[in-house]
Amino acid sequence: MTVPFDAVMLSYDEPLADRLHARLQRVLGTPVKRLHGVQGMRRAYRLAAEVVDHEQFLLVDGDFVLATEFALSAVQPLADGVSMRVWRARNPLNGLVYGYGGLKLIRRSALRDLGDAVDVLAALPGRCEFTADIAGTTRINQSPYHAWKAGFRECAMLARGSEYGMDDAEAAERIAAWTAGGQGEFAEFAVSGAREGVSFTHEAARVPDLFDKLNDPGWLYQRFTAGHGEQAIAG
């Protein structure tokens, strides 16, 4: 079978990334390229554009669990003027289902012309389309730190104002779900991160350059350990 799209997994330090990469290849039925440990999200995305052989390719996060019923053969190419399509993902802790952490079909040429945004892919040229279909689950709770980081980054960006054009009411509903509580392993860290992310947005409003720290893994880890390190080790 000729596959019309490449697939690339971008992983950084996710504990389950190796297993999820192997699973992704099994479900898709095709080899999946991988970039691991690249410093800088913008750099990682641009490098992804250089390892593929097709103009359009699937882009998968290192914590994404693709649904077994997902059929690569059913994926339609992007229409003219569309730079990226996003499938929705389930959040295993708070029940939200939206584009956060979801599977993406993206143009290589668009990544090569990536602009500047805190939510990096929001700076793609052209339109972004969001499908109602659910492609899988975003396994954000692989460790206390990863659960905290997911809540922190997402709610900081939602509280700042969605760069994808989400209206304020919808953003507020999602923040409320992230901060209200959750069930599952390390859910309490995701909730703490979400609440701290909202507070960080108020802090960064006075120093806008601080928002760039949301894409700095070293800074994020230091912020987590400063407030939660002993709790995480103790379980």
Closest Cα partner for 153 from 178, 130, 123, 180? 178
Distance spanning both ends of the chain, measured CA to CA: 48
3-state secondary structure of 73: helix
Write down the pTM of the prediction. 0.93
Distance CA 133, CA 168 (A): 23
- Averaged over successive runs of 10 residues, the pLDDT of the chain (235 residues) comes to 80 97 96 95 94 96 97 94 97 96 97 89 92 97 96 96 81 96 95 97 90 94 89 55
Distance CA 151, CA 180 (A): 12
pLDDT at residue 1 in the model: 44
Render pLDDT for 178-204 as a digit per residue (tens, 0 to 9): 999 999 999 999 999 999 999 999 999
pLDDT at residue 59 in the model: 98
Residue 38 — left, alpha, or beta (φ > 0 → left; ψ -120 to 50 → alpha)? Answer: beta
Type of residue numbered 49: A
At 219, list the tokens. 């800074």
Phi, psi of 90 (to 5 degrees): -85, 135
Q: What H or E segment, with its residue span, contains residue 144?
A: helix 144-160
Q: How far is CA 32 from the centre of its chain?
A: 18
pLDDT at residue 165 in the model: 73
Closest Cα partner for 86 from 119, 51, 54, 112? 119
Distance CA 53, CA 46 (A): 14
Type of residue numbered 212: D
Beta bridge partners of 105: 58, 85
pLDDT at residue 234 in the model: 46
Distance CA 76, CA 99 (A): 18
Residue 152 — left, alpha, or beta (φ > 0 → left; ψ -120 to 50 → alpha)? Answer: alpha
